[in-house]
Amino acid sequence: MKNKEKFAKEIVELACNESDIAVSKATGNPIDCSIIEYDCCALYEGGTYNDDTCRGALREWAESEYIEKPVINKRDRAFLEYIGTGINYITRDMDGGLFIYISKPHKLIDCWESSECESDKGLKFFKLDFPMVKWSDEEPWIIDDLKKLEVVEEYEYLEQKARIIPETFEVGEGKDWEAIGNIFDNPELIGETKDGESR
């Protein structure tokens, strides 16, 4: 899906109001150019801008593929404040466990490890989600970057979790725990039955 398709309604609304269109760096959404500072617009790359360069940048953005920005829920965001200063990184190991680090860790075969002598800082006893932190990440997440994400009440896939799991998998003996785990690791799977049909 391209940006022009994702934000078609917003673009039409701005065009009908005869507004010049900017794209907010903070949200990734198109907004009225007159209410944003130039350096807060994702279309601005420095130098002198005029109507022609803005239109060219806007067209390029509109034709680009939409990339969904990660968000963070209130509980995960509050945890980041709880851990205080000094903790700088968070990762997820291959088994799904979350870990925090003072020094930047590097990725091994099935886990992350800091080159410094840090004690195990596993988060398994905390009720946390952090779905944006994945084992497939090439770099650890920086805590300060997570703090800058838009805060939401709850992650979209978790709002559906209680409804999806009972309908999708058999309860009791023989339930497919691996498939359930896959849903939590891959929220895009939500909406499919075990037969592969869309809901």
Give the Cα separation of 130 and 139 in Å (integer): 15
pLDDT at 183: 44
Residue with tokens 């398994």, as numbered in its chain: 124
Give the Cα separation of 100 and 188 in Å (integer): 26
pLDDT at 100: 93
What lies within 8 Å, CB to CB, of 50 at 6+ separation is: none
Residue 90 DSSP class:
E
Give the Cα separation of 11 and 2 in Å (integer): 13
Structure tokens at 168: 């999708």
pLDDT at 5: 93
Structure tokens at 98: 């979350």
Model confidence pTM above 0.75: no
Picking from 100, 128, 126, 123, the residue whose alpha carbon sits closest to that of residue 112 is: 100
For 69, other C-beta atoms within 10 Å of its C-beta total 12
What residue type is assigned to position 166 of the chain?
P
Block means of pLDDT (10 residues each) for the chain, length 199 residues? 92 89 84 85 74 80 88 93 86 94 92 77 90 93 90 76 44 43 47 44
Beta bridge partners of 105: 114
Look at residue 101 and give its three-state secondary structure.
strand
pLDDT at 91: 95
